Structure 1
Amino acid sequence: MKKLIITIPLLIMAAGALVTGCKKSEITGSYFDPNASVNATIPALYSGLFYNERVLPRYWGLFTFQIPMMGTYSQTAGYTQGDKVYEQAVNYTKDRWDYFYNNTIARYREIEKYYGNLATDAEKAGYQLFLETSRIFLYDQTSQMVDMWGDIPFSTAGQLNTTGTIVLASYDKGVDIYTNILNDLKRISDYLATVKPEQFYQDQLTAYDYINKGSITKWRKYANSLMLRLAMRISYQNETAAKSLVQTILGNATQYPTVDAAAETIKIQPSSTTSTLTVLNDIRNGFGVNPFPGSKMVDTIMAPAADPRLPIYFTANRRGEYKGVPYNWTATRVADSVATNYFSRWDSTTFSENNVFPGIIISAAEVSFLKAEAFERWGGGNAKTAYETGVKQSIQFYQSVNAGSSHTGAKEAMPSDGVINTYLANPAIAYGTDNLEKIATQKWIDFGVIQAHQAWIEWRRTKLPKLNFPNDPSSVLSPAPPTRLLYPSTEVSLNAANYAAVKSSDNVTTKVFWDVK
């Protein structure tokens, strides 16, 4: 594995091997088996919606998308300046696109269809809880698609599941999708604040909900935290609307509770290495060719400030130091350094050998950093307290992941309050100057490589932390990191009439509607 250096070109050249190397089980498992069909129920469909291999840290998503592309565009992964380093591996971005439509949208539409066909109003009232909470997850995934591509098919997508008729889906404007999502999330949140399900439906929710284990309170916190994320995402594009919604949420914690403690992080958590959510060694294989962090995160920010997450995030090199891969080193120099164990790697206990690593949906730390930014810009709360709380929650969460790892390696103890306070007092970290940059930087560290897509999205929104991306003269298509992903070729060939409406914006320099800085 040491010879597989972390350049984008090498990952692209590996595509043929990856495709032809798939096992038969991997292919057949992706398709409906009519001989194994069962009668669907809303709870079973609901559970199936959450089995999401783009949330869980699975091999394919990490190896082809999160680490090589999102990790490069956000500099959360180490990479070298090879030829066409910023160009998208379009077969793999197509996979990410297809997964959303073939899985998330398709599964949600089935829930919608079965709900619409329920025989009685009593059943509809009972199962409405399943429909509304499934929409929260759907909206989360949909907003991420907008964040990466811009305008996407949504309102008319997946009609085959609903009507039995093939409909070539038209493209919705990203700004309209966001507006509708935010409005509906608030409606759902208000519904969840008052719903009192009959015990029969509550028991089913508890049995089939492996995100929040049937907790309506946690679903409320998920909905409100997602609203907060999306409101802040549009906050430079439509500050008036964003500020109003954020202040409504943060000004009434009883009506709109958010994720407030590290233990409340919304996630998909495999219970054990034998859980149906677990695929042994998938995360290891996902990190396979690139187990290295970037130097900006490690050498420039975390190591000089003695960040308590260093031994939780990374392994030290042969000298006992923490070193990331500099973005401006040649591939030869990086290869030589890999051979001499000069670089740190993402820690095996926490990450690459942890078969029960959770699929992170929205963390308490992210919510605290969103609050800190809102308070810093608009008042209404203590930005410094929210910022420091976010740092502590990030440390707590990743230490808990390390402590609960399935790997037999040594576990890291929770850093003491004294160590954390010393870190927070370091001038490079301490709140007081360059506050928005410090908030964004800590959020970027918290996202890391597992949530590299969120790190890329937030970096485009804030342009923080300050990252240097040298121009790539070898590429005409993408000499700099893209501002959005390209639509897959199948949209051009199979949905041509609707694609025509977005064709002029289908390039790497068009910005998503909220990207105005």
Structure 2
Amino acid sequence: MKKLSISLALGVLLTLGACSEYDFDSKYEDPSKVTTVSISNLMVGVFQRVKDYDLYEYNRFFGFDSQFVGKYAQTFGYTYSSSMYTPGYTPFIDSQWDNLYSALTQLRKLESLYNEESTGQQEQDEAFLLAARLQVYDFFAATVDVFGDMPFSKACTLPLTNDVQQSYAPYDKAEDIYRTILSELKEMAPRFRTIPVPRNFSTQDFINWGDMDKWERYANSLRLRLAMRVASQGELAEEGRAIIKEILENPTEYPLIEEQANNVFITNQKSGQLNFTAGSGLGDWVTNRLASGPVIDRMLSHGNYNMESSDPLTGTYVEGTDDPRILLYYNPVKIVNRNTGQTDEHRYLGTDVSVSDELTEYYNSQAEDELITTNKGFSQITQNGFFWQNDKFDMLIMASPEIHFIKAEAYAMGYGVAQDMTRAEEEFKTAVSQSIRLWYYYDSIGIGENTRRYEAPTDEAIATFADARWKSSDYTDKLDAIITQKWVHFAFLVSREAWSDLRRTGYPSGLVFPEVAGTIPNVPNRWRYPTTEVNYNPYYKDVQAEDTYYTKLFWAK
């Protein structure tokens, strides 16, 4: 762990001061703004540092998702250029690293206070410890998936030892970090079932509101996600498959997030303490709102998306064969060409939508790319749908469709469990159906300008579509069908997971990543360590040789 991050995190942890605003922090106090460093406050401090990873807000959608992982997963559209694989704003990548170690520092302090307590007091405070640890482990695994090897087991000790020399932490292998997290998640999950709920836990816990069943399902589901990540190949493949078998063959012992009621999320309370705006940052830079051509292509089964066409975005939505989520994801546009004075018709899905003045700026900067045939696979459609600025859209941390996609893959590939294509098909159809219902649920309760424009598809229509996707001749490999629909489900909401699945499986098939003449000529396999880490951590020399854009993660294909 670098000296700079540790010092900064220590200052955040111990600084005393009054709150300047009485909103989020008045109820969910950050340890940097209170005079008592307690276990409950430290848990909230961990949540505060991790929430940028969970929230659909500025840091994610202005810099990290739309300009980084969303490019590499092609869940966001982007402009074809020599620098198209370079993130628009690198500090947003580095901030994930810094936030992670700030959270880990607070967890280390929480663990230290907990270890000093009596047995009786530990029993009362264990819920705070486990919830904070689970959040850090989720965030840590996601950060490993970006960078690879990281300081972990010996990181963030300065606040506990005051020993600067010992605070420099060596890098743990990514495999070892995964192995530790997988092991500890197994021990943690059943504890949520048996430990008492502290008196103030439900008010401090702004994720699951003290619901221990949700915390247990979250821990098991995260373990299943990480086990699947390593099950395809690599030195943890056997261990990952054993975990998948253990969880799927013992559903009572290892309950998962399998229904919408089990979903783990941060509630968007527009009129309450948790006041966020879904998609904040999408409005700050027009390129952040570019829809993904490949996603659209796979949503339209009759293939009317073609960048080489002079009018690639025409056609009519066909119920039962086209993906009903496309009606929510992407809006049609009509743009006046300033150069010709003519209206370029983008009568997408057979509809017209009035265009705001911002599209004039949009046309000048981006729309000409729609006419460049070398820009295959990238679409410039303004994205302002049911999600962006929908005040009712919760910040989903983990939702049930993902779990059913994982189960479908396990049964299709025989990962740990016996190969069973009937079970795989059932899980696939459940996942697709739940995804469609989830997005239409948020559309139905939304108050954004583009919400509730379409009737939710019937159960019969959803079932027909899911069945068609499983049987589609587009896929010679059922794993392609599963990962493609999982990728469509994630889309611009969970681009990180979509990118990890792409690196792990090579699917969805058919994605085009043209080589360019820039500094980063093709899509990276990982991101390089932050400059501060390079400059301050003497152990960087141990990983320097592997610090390239094209070093593969141990679980990658």
The whole-number CA distance in structure 1 between the counterparts of 2:191 and 2:287 is 46
Find 2:388's aligned residue among 352, 367, 382. 352
Aligned to 2:294: 296
Query: Does structure 2 conserve the Cα–Cα contact (< 8 Å) formed by 1:314 and 1:347?
Result: yes
C-alpha separation in 1, matches of 2:131 and 2:483: 29
User: Quick one: higher RCO (CA 8 Å, sep 6+), 1 or 2?
Assistant: 1
The gaps in structure 2 that reach 5 residues or longer are 1-11, 19-33, 303-320, 335-345, 351-364, 373-378
Counterpart CA distance in 2 for 1:469 and 1:451 is 20
2:173 is equivalent to residue 136 of structure 1? no
Q: Using the TM superposition, give the Cα deviation of residue 43 of structure 1 relative to its aligned residue in structure 2, in angstroms.
A: 1.9
**Cα drift, residue 101 of structure 1:** 1.6
Helix, strand or coil: the match of 1:351?
A: coil
The CA deviation string for residues 292-319 of structure 1, in whole angstroms up to 9 with x for no partner, is: 2111110343463410111122223345
CA contact (8 A) 1:469 1:481 kept: no
Residue 49 (structure 1) aligned to one of 46, 59, 78: 46
Cα distance in 1 for partners of 2:110, 2:283 equals 33
Give the 3 Å change call, closer, same or farther, for CA 144–406 of structure 1 in structure 2: same
Q: CA deviation at 1:425?
A: 3.2
Instruction: Indicate the residue corresponding to 1:205 in structure 2.
Output: 201
Which residue of 2 is the match for residue 10 of structure 1? none
Given the alignment of the two structures, is residue 426 of structure 1 paired with residue 463 of structure 2, yes or no?
no
Choose from 510, 514, 517 the match for 2:551.
510
Aligned to 2:190: 190
SS at match of 1:234: helix
The superposition leaves residues 40-80 of structure 1 with CA deviations (integer Å, 9 ceiling, x where unpaired) of 32222222322312210111221111101111100000112
Q: Deviations over 1:266-314 (max 9, x none)?
A: 1112222443342588354367532121111103434634101111222
Displacement of 1:226 in angstroms is 0.6
Q: Is residue 354 of structure 2 the alignment partner of residue 313 of structure 1?
A: no
Matches within 5 A, 1:5-24: none
Residue 5 of structure 2: aligned partner: none
Alpha-carbon shift at residue 467 of structure 1 (Å): 4.2
174-183 vs 201-210, greater mean Cα deviation: 201-210
5 Å matches for 1:231-250?
A: 231-236=227-232, 237=234, 238-250=236-248
State the shift of 1:32 in Å.
7.7
Of the three residues 28, 31, 34, the one matched with 2:16 is 34
Distance change >3 Å, CA 467–CA 64, structure 1 → 2: farther
Give, in angstroms, the shift of residue 402 of structure 1: 1.9
Q: CA deviation at 1:433?
A: 5.4
Q: Aligned-pair distance for 1:377?
A: 1.2
Tell me which moved more, 158-167 or 230-239: 158-167
Among 517, 520, 530, the alignment partner of 1:474 is 517
Q: 1:288 to 1:268 in 2, by over 3 A?
A: farther
353-362 vs 133-142, which moves further = 353-362
2:96 matches 1:96: yes
Distance 1:183 1:56, change over 3 A: same
State the Cα distance separating 1:366 from its structure 2 match. 0.6
SS at match of 1:267: strand
Give the residue type in structure 2 aligned to 1:486: R
Q: Which residue of structure 2 aligns with residue 462 of structure 1?
A: 505
> Secondary structure of the residue that 2:396 maps to in structure 1?
strand
Q: Give the 3 Å change call, closer, same or farther, for CA 372–186 of structure 1 in structure 2.
A: same
The residue identity in structure 2 corresponding to 1:352 is: W
Look up the equivalent residue of 2:214 and give its one-letter code: K
SS at match of 2:101: helix
CA distance in structure 2 between the aligned counterparts of 1:300 and 1:282, rounded to whole angstroms: 27
Equivalent residue letter for 2:189:
S
Q: Cα–Cα, structure 1 residues 41 and 427, in superposed 2: closer, same or farther, change >3 Å?
A: closer
Shift of 1:335: 6.8
Deviations 1:406-432 (A, max 9, x none): 425441443211211221233676599
Residues 404 and 47 of structure 1: CA distance in aligned 2, closer, same or farther (over 3 Å): farther
Say what the alpha-carbon RMSD is for the aligned residues. 2.7
Query: What residue is the counterpart of 1:8 in the other structure?
Result: none
1:126-167, CA deviations, whole angstroms, 9 ceiling, x for partnerless residues? 111221222111111111111111001111222233334441
- Alignment CA distance shift 1:272-1:296 (3 Å): same
Partner of 1:70: 69
The alignment's TM-score, normalised by the length of structure 2, stands at 0.78
Match of 1:446?
Answer: 489
Structure-1 residue corresponding to 2:252: 254
Matched, 1:362 2:398: yes
Alignment partner of 2:151 out of 150, 153, 159: 153
Unaligned runs of 5+ in 1: 1-29, 324-329
Provide closer, same or farther for how the CA distance between residues 317 and 448 of structure 1 changes in structure 2, counting only shifts above 3 A.
same
Structure-1 separation of matches of 2:333 and 2:412: 38
**2:259 pairs with 1:216:** no
Q: Deviations over 1:5-58 (max 9, x none)?
A: xxxxxxxxxxxxxxxxxxxxxxxxx99863324213222222232231221011
Partner of 2:531: 489
Percent identity of the aligned residues? 28
**3-state secondary structure, aligned to 2:133:** helix
TM-score (norm 1): 0.84
1:124 shift after superposition: 0.8
Q: Which stretch shifts more, 410-419 or 365-374?
A: 410-419
Q: Distance in 1 between matches of 2:285 and 2:392?
A: 15
Aligned length, in residue pairs: 469
C-alpha separation in 2, matches of 1:414 and 1:136:
35
Q: Distance in 1 between matches of 2:271 and 2:512?
A: 39
Give the direction of change, closer, same or farther, for the CA distance of 1:427–1:158 in structure 2 (3 Å limit): closer
* Alignment check: 8 A CA contact 1:492 1:499 kept: yes
Q: Which residue of 2 aligns with 1:9?
A: none
Runs of 4+ aligned residues of structure 1 deviating over 4 Å after TM superposition are 30-33, 427-433
Query: Structure 1 residues 161 and 430, CA, compared in 2 at 3 Å: closer, same or farther?
Result: farther
Structure 2 counterpart SS, 1:57: coil
Q: Summarize the Cα distance change of 1:455–1:410 in structure 2 as closer, same or farther, 3 Å threshold.
A: closer
For 1:251 and 1:70, locate their aligned partners in 2 and report how far apart those are by CA, in whole Å.
34
Change (3 A) 1:136 1:35: closer
1:333 to 358, 368, 371: 368
